[in-house]
Structures are given as structure tokens and as C-alpha cells.
Amino acid sequence: MSDASTSSDVEPDHDHDHHHEGPGYSTPQAAIEESDREQLAYVMSLYVGTDVDEPDFVAVVDLDPDSETYGEIVDRIEMPNRGDELHHFGWNACSSSCHVEGLERRHLIVPGQRSSRLHVIDTKDRRNPELVEVIEPEEVFEYDLSAPHTVHCVPDGKIIISMLGDADGDLPGGFLELNDDFEIEGRWEPPGEIEMNYDYWYQPRQNVMVSSEWAAPKTYYPGFDLEDVEAGKYGQKLHFWDWENGTVEQTIDLGEEGLIPLEVRFLHTPESTHGFVGAALSSNIFHFWRDEAAGEYRAEKVIDFESREHPDWDMPVPALPTDILISMDDRYLFGSNWLHGEVWMYDVSDPANPRRADSLSVGGTFGEVQEVQGRELAAGPQMIQLSLDGERLYWTTSLFSSWDDQFYPEEAERGSVMLKADVDPRNGTLELDEDFLVDWGECPAGPARAHEIRWPDGDCTSDVWQ
């Protein structure tokens, strides 16, 4: 089953100076130059927590404007069980393994956030992928871990998954390692390094990994409760790891302005030590970087989204920036303010001083655009994904089933949508493409939610360079 043993399937798709037989691209710039336009998207789609008694699925969305099924869900890979809450997912291999001969970016590792079940999907046939492996929750619980979140392939064909809780859904979380045959290898880190966990990113050339914090699964699973924030049950720290040793070298407490630091991204350039994290509840974006003189990492708030008054809400509404990503050329930071209803792009050519380039007011509580093609938008922009050339930004609208029900209850009845904006990187502008709409409200079994988006050939939130 190991992808590393299927070298006959591999066709080198590009040339460059150094020996490069594995998956992905030799550099981030090569990804921009050598990739084709995205033709398909894989999108996490879910029914968990609704009255639709069906399993979650991975949707295959046609993104080819010349296709008759453009903007439609052309295939659905159903999970074998119900109750998973598909959330985030990732590839078995990426550009970090570009020197591993025979390895392919072919298998998707698809965890269930609530079930702790791990699925493996073979995408050899890109339009008709196939579920090939399931790791049951009990096997995961044996390592005293639960609530799988971020999946990154790491060099040499291994896969590491951030796990947000222990087997009881309590703290501490940790990291689970799979081998290239998709078997659990064990815990990646020695026990006791962290309490809370969420997203992570690594820069192997700098021997560093950074991880962020949500909360214990038993805290965030049922919904968001301010009492839990007041009781200190939500995270506000970043952890910087020794990548080789799997040990935490430094922890930065972001304080109240850094409450609930979720998506965390290093710049794509493998030499860089700069990155960003979105603090969702405080509605701030932090820049972090290694201070070489001091020999440690620093973090500083660089973007502050103000809460807004709304006549129908009792208290000022926070922006809730729940997702961020960095364009492959490291020039722009994109993000989504789920409650305000806004996607935005900042010029981060000087990462310490982001400059707002443009934003789009769509969906959510304040969006100027509240329907597309006559389809009412039931929630704000949430998970985002950018084309490798940086010219098309896509997003879905579901955050997490129980949190959706709390903040956008209509989404359960209408389902999610996937929307798109055309990006002009030269002029730094965003324009909503009103011809593009994928509607999860029209799924055969009933309205579904849609979450994370991936391209078959790698994207701005999955590839790392060694």
C-alpha cells in the first residue's frame, strides 16, 4: 500500500537542476510556474450533528470552467460510518518529500474530528477517488489521543496528525504519527510537551515546527461558551518545537489579544522563519519570527479587526478570523472573518508591517452581498483556499457543526456554499465571481456543511519544502 513502492506510476513532470524524483515541486516558485490551473477540488462535507441520518463525505467539485459540470459536485466519497465530523485533511506526501524516489501525492488522510476515526482515500483516479483504509477510533485511543485535526505529510513518507485531546476528550493533546503504509507508528512527541493543541506547520530547513491551541475537545465540541473563556479553558499560546527531536523549545503566551490562536502558517520559502497566526476570538493576526540575535522566536500583533455594532445583536460582534493562508509567492496573507462576513488580503512583503490590500464583504452578519445567483448565504466565509498562481480564492462557510448552529443556525437548513473571488495579485484586488457557486444545500440526502478545500496537486496550505 506504500506509495513509495509504486515508482512505475511516477512520471516526472518537471525539470530542475537537483535530483528530484518525489512528489511536488522543487520550490514554491516552481509550484506557481509548473502547475496547471486547478481542475478539481476535494472538499470535506458533513452531516454529523444534523437530523440527516447519513455519513459525512468528501465532495469532488469540478473547477474546470470549460466543463459542463463546472461548479458542481461530481462525486461523493461516503465514509463507512456516521458521526465523524470530517474537518481537516491532508496528503500522504508533499514537496517536502521531493527527493524520495517513487513517492506520490496520491492518498488523502481524512480524519473524523468527533469520531477520531482516520480514513485513507486513494485519488489515483482523481475524479473518482476510492476509500481504501480505515483506522478505527479504538486504535487511536490506545495512544491516549483523540480529536485529529491537522494532517501534514513529513519528509520520508511519514504523516503526522495533530490530536487535540487525550482518549477521554480531555487534555493533553499531542501528535500521532503514521508510517507510509498508513499504520499508526505511535506518538510523534515524547509525552508531556504541551497541554492544548490545534494547528501546526513546520520548516524542516530551520528545524522548527510551530503549533497553536484551541481547547480540550470536551470544551469546544458542544459549542462555544464564554464561561469557558473566563475559566481559562481556551488557548492563547504558540509553541515552537525542535523539529528533529519533537520537543518544545519555546512557548509564547500571546495574552488576551491572542485568544484562540487557530490556523498557523510559516511563509512558504523554506529559508524563512516568519509566519502568521490568526487569534480567532481576539480577532487579531500575529506575526512571529525568529530573532536571530536573541536566539528565540518573537510574536507581535500586526492586524487588529475591530468588533462592530449590529442593531440585532446585544454586544459588539467580533470579526472572528477563523482561517488564514499565505499565497505561494509569500506576498499576500488572505483570511476570512466568519462572523463579520469578509474575506481579506494583506500585502505581507514586509511581514512585520502588513498593509491592507483589499477585502470583500460577503455573507455573515454584515456582508454587503447576501446572496449569489439568488441563493441566500447562510453564513460568513470560513475555510479558504488559493490557487497556486494566486489568482483565484475559494471559500466555504461552515466552521464546526455545533458552532455553526450557535452563530448561523440557518446553515443547517440551507447547507453550505463554496464561493470564489478573482484575485489580481499585481494590483492587490479581490472581485467576487458571481458566476461561481457550489451549493451543498442541494445534496441528494439533504443540506450538508462544507469545510476544508484541497487541490489534487498541492495547495497553499499543504505543501512544505525541505
Partner 1 sequence: MTSHDVTLEWPDGRTRTIAVREDESVLEGGERDGVGLPFGCRTGACGTCVGRLLAIDGTGGGGDAADREPIGDAGDTEPIDVADAFAYRREPRALKPRHRTGGYVLLCIATPRADCRVAVGSQVQSELVDNPWK
Residues at the interface with partner 1 (CB under 8 A): 48-51, 53, 82-83, 85, 114-116, 137, 146, 165, 167-170, 217-218, 221-226, 312-318, 401-402, 405-407, 409, 412
The Cα 320–Cα 336 span in angstroms is 8
Compare residues 257 and 405 and give the one whose CB is closer to partner 1: 405
The Cα 196–Cα 253 span in angstroms is 12
Nearest distance, CB of residue 196 and partner 1, angstroms: 15
Compare residues 88 and 287 and give the one whose CB is closer to partner 1: 88
User: Which sign does the torsion angle of CA 205, 208, 210, 211 carry?
Assistant: positive
Query: 3-class SS at 425?
Result: coil
Compare residues 122 and 228 and give the one whose CB is closer to partner 1: 228
Compare residues 292 and 312 and give the one whose CB is closer to partner 1: 312
The Cα 133–Cα 104 span in angstroms is 17
The Cα 118–Cα 146 span in angstroms is 11
Phi/psi at 85 (5° precision): 55, 75
Nearest distance, CB of residue 317 and partner 1, angstroms: 6
Nearest distance, CB of residue 137 and partner 1, angstroms: 8
Nearest distance, CB of residue 149 and partner 1, angstroms: 14
Nearest distance, CB of residue 221 and partner 1, angstroms: 4
Nearest distance, CB of residue 167 and partner 1, angstroms: 8
Compare residues 209 and 215 and give the one whose CB is closer to partner 1: 215
The cell numbers describing 198, all together, are 490545534
Torsion on CA atoms 152, 154, 158, 162, rounded to nearest 10: -40
Compare residues 241 and 407 and give the one whose CB is closer to partner 1: 407
The cell numbers describing 102, all together, are 517513487
Please count the residues of the chain: 466
Q: Which residue has the cell 455553526?
A: 404
Nearest to 456 by CA among 75, 160, 8, 198: 75
DSSP of 217-238, one letter per residue? HHHHTT---HHHHHTT-B--EE
Nearest to 121 by CA among 227, 228, 1, 222: 1
Nearest distance, CB of residue 216 and partner 1, angstroms: 9
The Cα 140–Cα 118 span in angstroms is 9
Nearest to 77 by CA among 92, 53, 109, 55: 55
Nearest distance, CB of residue 406 and partner 1, angstroms: 5
Compare residues 83 and 246 and give the one whose CB is closer to partner 1: 83
Compare residues 413 and 431 and give the one whose CB is closer to partner 1: 413
Nearest distance, CB of residue 404 and partner 1, angstroms: 9
Phi/psi at 402 (5° precision): -75, -30
Query: 3-class SS at 368?
Result: coil
256 touches 282 (CB < 8 A): yes
Compare residues 250 and 402 and give the one whose CB is closer to partner 1: 402
Compare residues 395 and 407 and give the one whose CB is closer to partner 1: 407
Phi/psi at 345 (5° precision): -135, 130
Nearest distance, CB of residue 383 and partner 1, angstroms: 20
- Angstrom CA distances, 391 to 329, 387, 433, stand at 11, 6, 12
Nearest distance, CB of residue 376 and partner 1, angstroms: 19
Compare residues 220 and 289 and give the one whose CB is closer to partner 1: 220
